[in-house]
A and B are shown apart, each in its own frame.
Chain A
Amino acid sequence: MGATSFRLRRRSLVVVAVALVLLAAVLVVDIMIGDFPLTASQVIDALLGGGTRRDQFVVTELRLPRALTGLLVGGALGLSGAIFQAIVRNPLASPDILGVTWGAGAGAVSVITFAGSLGVVTGGAASVGLPLAGLAGGLIAGLLVYALAWRQGIEGFRMVLVGIGVTAVAGNVTHYLLTVGDVQDAGRAMVWITGSLNGRGWEHVVPVALALVVLIPVALIGGHVLGALQFGDETSRGLGVRVNVARSFLIIVAIVLASVATAAAGPIAFVALATPQIALRLAGTAQPPLFGSVVVGGVLVVLSDLVGRTIYRIELPVGVVTAVLGAPYLMYLLVRSRREARV
């Protein structure tokens, strides 16, 4: 069936092309809208290095870094979710549910509250310490889930259950830190754990961009085994896959992606959960497409941020918007999986 797979491939190519155009359009629109409204041509001029000095400043210093952070964070979350869902073979598997995002959240909040009480939260600690602590927290939580769920291999359902437990622990750690911390720090931490793109500058773009430049190719190269990993372990091993090696490698890539993203913008809810399923339906495949998930995730976060910035007279953090959109989706997933379990 060469024709079939070609048709499938062409369809995913078309989806990716459309998504890239959409991405560029969303980016431009996102930059146009704000306290200083700009036209599309002003935005494009400023992006290409022209336009007035004011437009230049608004576009390249204020809005572009924010939009790019959203795009990259969304892409990283989408890819992370796609890898998790493909490996665990469960649409519920995502870094949000598996504790990674909450672990990263606890790590970052510990920096905000402790560094704040020590009076060193300015500059350095905030821009270097926070992402690193987030990354560390996410890795610890993710690896903990992985280690606890390991029993001569990884079984999807057990991983989801352990993940829910670790999420609860990380959530409690976070709440404890918020309680003992200074009120003002706790306030800032609250905004952060909702997931926000407010005030994101180039210092936030660069780490996520670097991580993605390395990890997207790694994931796509490693991802060719995902197709053979979608069956039971015995079938996959029969096809010549070193199941545990391949799975561990991809899960670690997914954990790092989600942790880096969370360190940059806070735990933006539901993006990693919903994105792969949206991309899967758009591409018409049985497994979440990796590259498609990157694109869909980016679009989703930038659009949600745009909605958050404009829908109400005060700015809503992007995490609030994605939570409002994502919560019903999670309920739908749970209801559906219960029905299937009954059959």
Chain B
Amino acid sequence: MSVRLEASSLCVGYGERLVVDTLDLSVVGGTVTAVIGPNGCGKSTLLRALGRLLPARSGAVLLDGKQIDRMPTRDVARVLGLLPQSPSAPEGLTVADLVARGRHPHQSWYRQWSSDDAAAVEAALAMTGISDLAERTVDELSGGQRQRAWISMALAQGTDLLLLDEPTTYLDLAHQIDVLDLVQELHSSMGRTVVMVLHDLNLAARYADNIVAMRDGRIVAQGAPGEVLTEGMLSDVFGLDARVVEDPVSGTPLVVPVGSRHRSS
């Protein structure tokens, strides 16, 4: 498998502050990568820079070997789709219209809607299981349904690279599993490449092939969940005293925090 998305000596910052510091990362095609780390470690910033939403201060982001900020943004949008953290839609927008917007990079002012677009939108709605919600407005959906609608829009965009910034925020556990099962399906049956920021380490361990652990704008560890999620890493990166056991269902690492109440001596 080839490298699709690459950060090379990447530095990104806001104002004076450097948030991502000389970072190197390679995302191999057809894999699911989860970026983890404590709050403020720069994982969302990294994802935004990978999706050319933030400019590189120095270094570069390469999409299929080409420097992403030199490519026309519309060309990037045909290859790479992204879902920001808690996106907002205008009041009264229907799910069908929201998902239809995903076709924007494939349209132009003289070709605003085609049968290809219609087919892609229909497929995206079916894929996320919300075909029957097409006529509802986005604001009347529940949190889980809304997240599906947004993912559906990203799918309608028809890109084989997807960047998801905390796709499970504000969802209850059942809906988190729902959304991640969907990601799993995109990956396994459609060969999409996914990079996502996740807070939940156990879910990251279950659903990602590759885990990237960040602290202070740098990558501290990366690799298969079993290699990265160790007690030493948790204490290093998160300052968390925890045991790592085997997940009885999936066999992946399961993080069990100790907490002050159970800390013996």
Q: Which residues of A contact B (CB under 8 A)?
A: 1-2, 4-5, 8-9, 89, 221-222, 224-225, 227-228, 230-232, 234-235, 237-242, 285-287
Contact = CB atoms under 8 A, between A and B. Distances in A.
B89 A227 contact: no
A232 B93 contact: no
Q: In which size bucket is the chain B interface?
A: 35 or more
Given A238-B81, A238-B82, A286-B97, 4 more contacts: A1-B100, A230-B101, A241-B104, A286-B90
B184 interface: no
29 contacts: A1-B122, A1-B125, A1-B134, A2-B119, A2-B122, A4-B94, A4-B96, A5-B97, A5-B100, A224-B109, A230-B89, A231-B89, A231-B101, A234-B84, A235-B83, A235-B84, A237-B52, A237-B53, A237-B73, A239-B77, A239-B101, A239-B104, A240-B76, A240-B77, A240-B105, A286-B93, A286-B94, A286-B97, A287-B90
Interface in B190-211: none
A4 B118 CA distance: 9
Nearest to B86: A232
Q: Say what secondary structure dominates the interface of chain A.
A: helix
B91 A286 contact: yes
Nearest to B87: A235
B92 A234 contact: no
Contacts of A235: 83-84, 87
Given A231-B101, A286-B97, A238 B134 contact: no
B107 interface: yes
Nearest to A242: B73
Nearest to B85: A234
Q: Say what secondary structure dominates the interface of chain B.
A: mixed
B125 A241 contact: no
Q: Which 5 A-B pairs have the closest CB atoms?
A: A240-B77, A2-B118, A240-B74, A286-B93, A240-B105
A2 B115 contact: yes
A230 B93 contact: yes
A224 B112 contact: yes
A191 B5 CA distance: 64
Nearest to B119: A2
B73 A240 contact: yes
